[in-house]
Amino acid sequence: MRSMVVLVAVLGAGAAHADASPAFAKVRDAAEALGGLGPFLDKYMGRCGSVLEGGGDCQRNAETFRRAANGKKYYMIITEDSAANLSLGGNDGKSDFTLNLTPFFPGSDSAVTHGAPSKTDANGNPVLPFIAMKGTLPDGWNMAMLARQLQARAMRIQVVFTPLGSWTLPKKGGGTIKGVKARLDAVLVSVGRTGEEIAIWTGH
């Protein structure tokens, strides 16, 4: 699984919160903010030993947590240094463009994904289809500037997702890869330094 570390900010983080578009804000405000994706994934997936080693209680706790979490909306912020799952798609040569988002958000030993992957690539990473996000350049920008900002990981990603269950795939070299099958409800990409909105996507 990819080694990218996801840092998640607490809800109420200044510019990321105040400047959100109404369409995104409506979905976000109905969600519970995560203080960290790793702890959430550990509780959901259950980092448990064998029953003989005392892992039975851990497994039961994870099952209880999953039942409570499934169908509930959660909100997280992927900070700039961790936003490595964005790439530039097509553009109209002027101001409108498409961002390709790989809906894979790792934390701890697993990840949140949009839907469930069915296979891995040659490097052992889960294969997921892009989400195409429509965007418009901020004033004073051009496509070359946008490409540089993406390459420099200058973007911040806000995500609202709903857990639906878990998935498991064989791991290259043995073992398994596990993750949370989720529905992404809304995604907002902004410039981390200024809070300017770059692109928005909603699942409705």
Strands 197-202 and 176-191 come out as: antiparallel
Domain assignment present for 86? yes
8, part of any domain: no
Range of the domain at 77: 14-202
- In tens, the pLDDT along 61-102 reads 999 999 999 999 999 999 988 888 999 999 998 999 999 999
Q: Of 10, 2, 183, whose CA–CA distance to 106 is shortest?
A: 2
Asked whether residue 3 is domain-assigned, the answer is: no
pLDDT number for residue 90: 93
**Whole-number pLDDT of residue 7:** 44
The pLDDT value recorded for residue 56 is 73
Residue 6 forms part of a structural domain:
no
pLDDT at 82: 84
Domains contained in the chain, number: 1
Q: Let me know if residue 7 belongs to a domain.
A: no
In a domain, 82, yes or no: yes
What is the pLDDT at residue 14?
Answer: 41
The answer to whether residue 9 sits within a structural domain is no
- Give the mean pLDDT per block of 10 residues along the chain (204 residues): 43 47 93 94 85 73 96 95 90 94 93 96 92 95 94 95 97 90 97 92 86
Q: Give one DSSP letter per residue of 52-119, joined into a string.
A: GGT-HHHHHHHHHHHHHHTT--EEEEE-GGG--SEEEEEE-SSSEEEEEE--EEEETTEEEEES----
Residue at 2 is within a domain:
no
Average pLDDT, whole number, for the chain? 88
